[in-house]
Amino acid sequence: MDIRVAQIKDAEAIRGIYNNEVTSGTATFDITPRTLQEQRDWLTERSGAHVVLVAEYGNEIIGFGSLSRYQTRPAYSTTVENSVYVRPEDQGKGVGLALLVALIEKASEHGFHTVIARISAESKGSIATHQKAGFKEVGRELQTGRKFGRWLDVVVMQRFVESSNTD
């Protein structure tokens, strides 16, 4: 498996993985599948410090992860939020952990101080993966999302990173 920075040509594969969670899972609270153009726009918005990485195996994208702006106010500029998605048939094989570790490395390279994860409480595998990567639960948002006719809680996890940016 190779992990690399995503390119526009990866948009369709990323969209397929993401839209599967939109329509059948609770890893995202989105309820409307993304169009190809929306996915391309999302990728374009995440360049530089706010990066998207893909996990590729046998010339197929099997997962992706991103670092996104946490909040828009300037005082939050050293904090990012991560997202990691893996194709259902490749979950439980270490793909998510590999992506998460690579995202933490990118956060360090880009001088970020902390990474936040907001995870559906139903996503036990994602919570465990984040714990393996050194994240700690710092809060829980009760009934903040509603999908598939039920209320969903959000587990908030956090990890500090050592900056490798010497500027």
pLDDT in tens, 79-117: 999 999 999 999 999 999 999 999 999 999 999 999 999
In the chain, what are the domain boundaries?
2-114
- For position 165, what pLDDT does the model report? 53
Q: Return the CATH class of domain 2-114.
A: alpha beta
- For position 7, what pLDDT does the model report? 96
How far, in Å, CA of 157 to CA of 127, rounded? 8
8 Å CB contact between 46 and 7:
no
- Separate counts of helices (H) and strands (E) for the chain: 4, 7
Q: Which residues contact 62 (CB under 8 A, 6 or more apart)?
A: 1, 55, 56, 86, 87, 90, 95
pLDDT band, residue 163 (cuts 50/70/90):
low
Q: Which residues contact 120 (CB under 8 A, 6 or more apart)?
A: 26, 27, 29, 126, 145, 152, 153, 154, 155
Neighbours of 57 (CB within 10 A): 14
Give 7-20 pLDDT, tens digit per residue.
999 999 999 999 99
- For position 164, what pLDDT does the model report? 60
Give 30-80 pLDDT, tens digit per residue.
999 999 999 999 999 988 889 999 999 999 999 999 999 999 999 999 999
- For position 48, what pLDDT does the model report? 84
pTM equals 0.93
SS3 26: coil
SS3 75: helix
